[in-house]
Amino acid sequence: MAEDINPPPRLLMGPGPINADPRVLRAMSAQLLGQFDPQFRAYMRETTQLYRGVFETANRWTLVVDGTARAAIEAALASLIEPGDRVLVPVFGRFGHLKVEIAKRCGADVRAIEAQWGTVFSTEALEVALRKEKPRVVAVSHGDTSTTMAQPLAELGELCRQHDALLYVDATATLGGMELPVDTWQLDVVSAGLQKCLGGPSGSAPLTLNERAEKRIVRRRHIEAGLKRADEKDGEGPIIRSNYFDLAMIMDYWSDKALNHHTEATTMLYAARECARILLAEGLPHAFKRHRDASRALCAGLQAMGLRLFGDQAHKMPNVTGVHIPAGVDGEKVRRTLLEDFNIEIGTSFGPLHGKIWRIGTMGYNARKDAVLTTLAGLEAGLAAEQHKLPRGAAVDAALAAYRSA
Ligand SMILES: Cc1ncc(COP(=O)(O)O)c(C=O)c1O
């Protein structure tokens, strides 16, 4: 017989998932409700309202897609992109490549531009690409956890409007951890996941879209035959090629029409609602500062140990830090020491960075002083066990000093 689930008490300091806030886990233990129960519909409406606060938007269509963060990426792209549409994807890490891949599956004529991993695009470079490619849709990551970089977006929304393109932003890694005022920055569709700065488990993907995007999506609305009333007409646009990720149907389901689509993942909705509630109770400016403080302290500690930070520090996300594995050190052995002796998980890396950097997350519930200090102490012990010379005790002292001056 399998035993009861009793996982080791890990501290998850990788690029996500991170430990869920205990209040989120508590909300998830609440009993289920039917998806059309008036109380459940009230929870859905509250979830919309709470995420308007998190996304800093007045968008009517603010909801959660059931599935991990890529479910919302796929819903956004499948619903925006009509076959043959030109789509511009600025790639500065693994998750840019993911958007290229999804856009291709949607039948797009994809034009990717690439920046070296560890850097981001200048606004000028994006403008040149917009002018040259004339895309209908631009799909970009805000923060890419694979490289730890955050693409500045404050001007891209306006530029996309000038060039008549819709802008989709993947904010999986940044929502709740750094500024992303959706309306001020004129972002048309933005989505995220819970398992990073929102402090929840993966499995629910908040998404918001504005009227520009709504117009594109609603003209592709095709109501399932078993649900359609005689007086309802399909939109004149081409059908969205995914049923599960059809945002027109998901919007009908979330609207007061409550038109049946999937069976809402009740427990995940409780989680998403609680993540947003906790974040707004803390206040966005406070949460952003907490992430910046944790990042600064972690970086100060890593550098005091003599380690080198990865990438363009002016554009590093405040919630994930890349650090070079010192020459001669087996990065996997150090990660194993951290896991086995300290119960701490830090991240390895992908693609061109594989074996070269560790990625350490300080996000959501784990963007805390004690989590940063314990991780630095564990990393120091792991490096020392590999005979790497370093000033003992300096990392924790430097991190504490950074916290005191914050
Ligand atoms: C920027 C970004 N986009 C998308 C994803 C994919 O998220 P998920 O694994 O929840 O589908 C991740 C996960 O790390 C991410 O960092």
Chain segment 378-395, per-residue pLDDT in tens:
999 999 999 999 999 999
300 CA to middle of ligand 1, Å?
A: 27
Q: Whose CA is nearest to atom 1 of ligand 1?
A: 144
- Ligand 1 centroid–CA 386 distance in Å is 32
Q: How far is the CA of 173 from the centre of ligand 1 (A)?
A: 7
Give the mean pLDDT of 102-111.
98
Summarised one tens digit per residue, pLDDT across range 206-235 is: 999 999 999 999 999 999 998 888 888 899
Q: How far is the CA of 70 from the centre of ligand 1 (A)?
A: 6
Give pLDDT tens digits for 133-142.
999 999 999 9
Residue of minimum CA distance from atom 12 in ligand 1: 172
Residue 358, strand partner residues: 323
How far apart (Å, rounded) are the C-alpha atoms in residues 86 and 104? 10
Determine the average pLDDT of the residues in 319-332.
Answer: 97
From the alpha carbon of 146, which atom of ligand 1 is closest?
Answer: 16
User: Residue 195 CA: which ligand 1 atom is closest?
Assistant: 10
Ligand 1 atom at minimum distance from 171 CA: 1
Closest residue by CA, ligand 1 atom 7: 69
Q: Per-residue pLDDT averaged across 85-105, rounded?
A: 98
Confidence of residue 196 (pLDDT cuts 50, 70, 90): very high
3-state secondary structure of 328: coil
Which residues, 6 or more positions from 368, have their beta carbon under 8 angstroms from its beta carbon? 290, 294, 362
Give the per-residue pLDDT at 166: 98
Q: CB under 8 Å to 276, separation ≥6 — which residues? A: 47, 50, 51, 53, 54, 198, 206
Residue 232 has what pLDDT? 87
- Cis? peptide before 201, omega within 30° of 0: no
Question: What's at 123, amino acid-wise?
Answer: T
Closest atom of ligand 1 relative to the 68 alpha carbon: 10
What residues pair up with 206 in beta bridges, in sequence order? 64
Report the pocket of ligand 1 as residue ranges, CB < 6 Å: 16, 68-70, 95, 141, 144-145, 170, 172-173, 193, 202
215-226 per-residue burial string, b: 16 or more CB within 10 A, e: under 16 = ebbbebbbbeee
Q: What is the pLDDT of residue 230?
A: 85
- State which ligand 1 atom lies nearest to the alpha carbon of 73: 4
Pocket test for ligand 1, best of 66, 140, 145 (most atoms within 8 A of CB): 145
Ligand 1 centroid distance, CA of 195 (Å):
9
Atom of ligand 1 nearest to the CA of 144: 1
- Residue 274 CA to ligand 1 center (angstroms) comes to 20
